[in-house]
Structure 1
């Protein structure tokens, strides 16, 4: 019998969190036998993370008192992946590992493994993940793979139609993500409505920007926090005018019912801050108030509508650059002298942990997006050339930085508003909207569409838009049409309700 010593230890991106002066506690180990391969694991960790083992050891059955458990419905490859994930690793998997990992999470019921499989879906493995998840009944993974395929449908259509018809029908029943944009606007009034206060979406078929909805008159997107979470658009804070009086009420747009509602703002009034949606929360990060830069961070729990303070930033910061990768939240903090620190927020410990530092002379991070286990940091070009931007990529799995070849002009197409959808990245400027294919060490130009003809700060994001939210005819007005006639989206249709 072959023994593989694979002890699972609790891990964290902040190793010092678990260090103290107390002696180490002895590990309560368990041997797991799979096809005569024996794995020694931490019983506490495996019971905590696997529903199968939790139920087994609560059942009182004879097996729960034995030192070795036989698993007959799980393969060695899948269990090895499970152990890696429980150690806090983020392994990239080949086809055989994917199939066995799905089988493993189906049999052992491991949410952490299911979440990891969702995080690594890409164009090459999405059909395999989708079909295998359907076979084993891992429905959360099945649905997320279907959403990925729906977003990449134009590229994957030929291969999709090799799937069973029922699986094809499910994919085609889903709503694709739309590339969205809204500009920086101050509050308006009922008598003097600003016709440009609109939320727009990209009609990719016609390569046009169209109006989805108008902002409620009391909403400000100037120096506001803007984020999409659970397919709802949140606009928090913002200022009234040059006096920088802060809006105390936030707004939420739900495209499923085409309505706006209000939510309470953070306890600390703030503007020029970053709003991040992650898990069941929104995070208001840093910002300014009364001309003072803030380090405080607040968490808004969507489940109960409450704000609370969490761990502050390592230093005061406004306009913090952020991204969510591999289901983890990251931010960039500029240290001057060309150094940019990347921190991860660990909700379990309410702590910001330094991940890495990028050092580039005469440069600082301007924007960051995530694709799989890569963080792409866009920064100003050499010699303070702000009409150019260059990119560096940090791989979370390897812990290595790499510089992407090529420079991307800000005069024609800007990367400072990049949004990732599937294996594509959308960017825009006044002159052109550009879609890139994300490849290993470069972004390859895929297509260009009409630009977003506005000036000033632009917020971009993705949302899934029901046809009823766009128009009864299935197509919204073009931006030009809406600006000529504000009545295409009458105020009465914005059914504002209070959720306070």
Structure 2
């Protein structure tokens, strides 16, 4: 059987022929896995014709399986959905989910409903729900059933938590809370109080599947590391604990993807680390993966098109972008940019763009400059304008649909991303407490969180 899988097979789709390794098709397509392992006559044929698909859709599938990230037109998106459904290719469906944006979400929602791709169907519906006000004028093309489903979903809400160290019950700090912005009333309200032993000071924070994860953090003058990690489940309004990384670390970056948490870099005993660990939620265990290319703490990290990127700098003037490839367990260099080292920098992603924001210790201390790196063209663009006020709001930017949320104690600023530029959209209330912030998006249950902060 192994020797047969090493062979290549010619696939005819419409008038085009594709030569593909059987092993690749068996690995990624349930349709071909069943076909080649069936023992039927077709399983040994050197040439197979598929009549139900278009050559366009099949070619897109092959590009995805080769690790490419093509930008698809409306017609190509439709053909890709058709191919993913007929050949049962999960990696293609995942690619379509990661490529959702305001231009294609309605089409992909309708196509997923038509061809029965349930994960894409729900992901597209959630995207539309989050961008409802921006997309409302285009939703009349949806059937009443599809529109009703979108409106039944809970939109994501902008939330934040300040930097807090552990406390004792008799010294309980009522400000140790996770808060969310109720935009209708323009009020920050309390979602949950942090566990007494949890620290968000120099901790890594991220979300996955509508849960908040907190790893690391310190307490005390000597920066003792909190060795337990914490998870807040929004649906049940409950906290649970899980083990900390094998290497004690603080000032770490935490990101999550497909059932794993990644604790990236950080410090221990005032020494920067280059080690990286991942937490497998199915086994509740941490394991080391490939080190960062260099030791680093508070590493800017963002996910674009379902891919993990970090931003490092090599003093004093080189910014470097790396991608982590989970399948290969490698940090791949993507691009570099020469800029004077800054006081601080951050990174967020939108579509196939990475936005790197920085301010510096000299004449630009009170302002933010931004550079954009496009993953498709591999080109850098210096962004016009000034996107941060003197309180440093942009370092906590998160993006929902085409809207950027930034926040500080004075105000919350919203920007709209149009043609790769950020345009001021609206102003909301600032976070009611001082200090650094971690921000994220959550889908809150339809209950009355009535405690105003």
Shorter-normalised TM-score: what interval?
Answer: over 0.9
Alpha-carbon displacement from aligned partner over 1:354-400 (angstroms, at most 9, x marks no partner): 11112123547610111121111111269551211111111112222
Q: Give the structure 2 partner of residue 83 of structure 1.
A: 62
Alignment of 1:140-159 (within 5 A): 140-159=119-138
Residue correspondences, number = 449
Q: Give the structure 1 partner of residue 313 of structure 2.
A: 334
Determine helix, strand or coil for the equivalent of 2:395.
coil
Q: Which residue, out of 31, 53, 56, partners 1:74?
A: 53
Moved more, 159-168 or 240-249: 159-168
Q: Give the structure 2 partner of residue 450 of structure 1.
A: 429
Greater RCO (Cα-Cα under 8 Å, separation 6 or more): 1
Is 1:96 matched with 2:75? yes
Determine helix, strand or coil for the equivalent of 1:409.
coil
**Structure 1 residues 225, 212: closer, same or farther in 2, change over 3 A?**
same
Q: Give the structure 1 partner of residue 179 of structure 2.
A: 200
Determine helix, strand or coil for the equivalent of 1:196.
coil
Q: For the residues of structure 2 that align with 1:200 and 1:138, how far apart are their CA atoms?
A: 35
Q: For the residues of structure 1 that align with 2:432 and 2:317, how far apart are their CA atoms?
A: 33
Alignment of 1:55-454 (within 5 A): 55-363=34-342, 366-380=345-359, 384-411=363-390, 414-454=393-433
Contact 2:206-2:212 at 8 Å conserved across structures:
yes
Q: For the residues of structure 2 that align with 1:411 and 1:389, how far apart are their CA atoms?
A: 9
Q: For the residues of structure 2 that align with 1:462 and 1:265, how far apart are their CA atoms?
A: 24
Moved more, 137-146 or 54-63: 54-63
Contact 2:313-2:341 at 8 Å conserved across structures:
no
Q: Give the structure 2 partner of residue 32 of structure 1.
A: 11
Determine helix, strand or coil for the equivalent of 1:101.
helix
Q: Give the structure 1 partner of residue 452 of structure 2.
A: 478
Contact 1:325-1:371 at 8 Å conserved across structures:
yes
Contact 1:332-1:365 at 8 Å conserved across structures:
no
Determine helix, strand or coil for the equivalent of 1:393.
strand
Q: For the residues of structure 1 that align with 2:344 and 2:98, how far apart are their CA atoms?
A: 25
Gaps of 5+ in 2: none
Task: Kindly report the root-mean-square deviation, in angstroms, between the aligned alpha carbons of the 2 structures.
Answer: 1.7
Contact 2:290-2:330 at 8 Å conserved across structures:
yes
Gaps of 5+ in 1: 1-25, 469-473, 480-500
Q: For the residues of structure 2 that align with 1:309 and 1:80, how far apart are their CA atoms?
A: 36
Q: For the residues of structure 1 that align with 2:16 and 2:298, how far apart are their CA atoms?
A: 52
**Structure 1 residues 384, 334: closer, same or farther in 2, change over 3 A?**
farther
Q: For the residues of structure 2 that align with 1:323 and 1:365, how far apart are their CA atoms?
A: 16
TM-score of the superposition, structure 2-length normalised?
A: 0.95
Alpha-carbon displacement from aligned partner over 1:244-279 (angstroms, at most 9, x marks no partner): 111111111101000111111111111111111111
TM-score of the superposition, structure 1-length normalised?
A: 0.87
Q: For the residues of structure 1 that align with 2:21 and 2:265, how far apart are their CA atoms?
A: 39
Q: For the residues of structure 1 that align with 2:136 and 2:420, how far apart are their CA atoms?
A: 26
